[in-house]
Structure 1
């Protein structure tokens, strides 16, 4: 990858919570908690931060400044970032570009969300919603159902079932796995283990594929933060043993194929993911088989299976085989979503990508406690927002 090398030197996050569960817990307090932890983890003070990129989806235009002011007020550039569910990783991407381009030596990426309970609500009512083109295209393929998000991904799952013989049980097994993983994550919104039967018996959300509530990510409050640094900064502060290098990173937005393929699977982002992953593998000089641990965007269990294929973990249509072979949990080829993923850890939109980065940093440092993936050397992150943007990032310990 061209440009200066980029290193993660500090990470921090709050516990993700059900919206409104912690009385008086507003976004400045969330940001202070995650940001302070990231700075302490890096062993630096806020006055060493040269710029900040702050992600959130719901809120007014300068919430980023208000959040960062809890850490310090030094006049640095602060940008406010909104890229739907990939907002957190977009803030990370922008921070990394500043380091890679030689514009700064130490940058903060911070994300948070304070959400309303229930299904995601739309924005302004006096203009076209940004997903209307996607919804209209998918409505030509499958009958629309409300809420829109589970319908969009659920219909993609139905298409996969019709094409490849995937079953509702494959999707349910992903929900079971991710809830099981989360029991060891103190930051997770849910830390409950469920049997496969309990997953299948939960409240029905999208009946055609038997997608239940326990296979869907919840609304969440919470925050995450990552401190990035240049090689020069790492050397000057003797941080190599602690640092994790970003060895590949790509952002891809919708392609013509999003609409020309006439496929619900493509409409919900599989082609974006495929293109981003290929770029990252090339940059990092790795293949999918080299990866040990993955945090990917399981907003619904369906999307985890679709992402297996888009990331190249298996061939098109073979995602179910990975599940049947237990290839994506401890003891398999990869451990996918050791944190519990969005389904069980939670999904505060602006924080999600930074929580993924935090988990993978802990994994590569060997400090993930009971979630630790033994011998993890290479990590991969995938974060998607419809409308659309995908960010894929590869990490490796700096001392390697």
Structure 2
């Protein structure tokens, strides 16, 4: 017996028409296969939705960038100069943790701020200070990224080298706190965060409170935006997702979550980007995905039957992480097998290592900028920006995508290939 669907219980005025549509689907599957048929049906559903047919949005979209490269807005800054600034901040963040641990094993995290563009694009082009209209923006910074924020404050002249040398040395007086700590450093930090889920929960209620103040005429917060920077592993904390539906129900388009999807955590696998997308879409959020860098465009343009996307969509998170730590020959052998071999043939092993291994959307300022612009322009719902990165990017083969990099506290001369450069 065939399964009974809800629509089967309603009277059908034209069974013959339904049969013809179903026969068309059967014919497509027989002629071009199920994967190609799925793509055809997605295009039909998208077209129907654009023409006003009341269809619910999909829970998961294809594993590609929400904003194609050709649709990205012009970048407003000097990319070469910003690349130098970002490299300096990334280097100084790693150096301050290294120096602290050479002196006394103070701990700290070096790999998180390697995804520096997530923050640098925001600081350069989006975040509004307290002297802006209203009360400015509110930032919930990922706790493990604090060395990078200190490094930026140093470059701006708000901290000096002696301050950086007292990272995690609060007991001696005047040291910089390990994580965002508004009581210890009120001029820099506004909210306490680490990675236990309280940041995202607090950010939602902050955005809701901003709306409360504005709607009741207490304070003009209409130009204030709340940004919460989070790790993908953190999203498994119950508090991280406890109020997602509240944010959507209240239409908090003054709120953006930025999730650093580097596929790594201390205690097991993380939710991949597609799982996070489904979770947020189900709660009513707008989702902007940024998995791949611009160098993926050629591969994806040649993926006519969607085989590469299917392979990526079914990869365990650990395997994609492994690709970032292995050479092109390994990637060719373990990803581009069978029908995918022809897709990879025009590319050298070095090309595959660069594209598949490290070309991630979260490491390209144009893609980060486009995603943030789309988040601010969206109305009627909060937005989550899902950016794929390589944890420890630019810190060298001893760091990039290594399982141990959460606990690695020192750079060696061989481990890092990014003393301040323009990468």
Higher strand share: 1
Shorter-normalised TM range: under 0.3
Higher helix share: 2
Q: Compute the TM-score of the two structures, normalised by the length of structure 1.
A: 0.24
Q: Compute the TM-score of the two structures, normalised by the length of structure 2.
A: 0.23
User: Larger Cα Rg: Structure 1 or Structure 2?
Assistant: 2
Using CA pairs under 8 Å that are at least 6 residues apart, name the structure with larger relative contact order, 1 or 2: 1
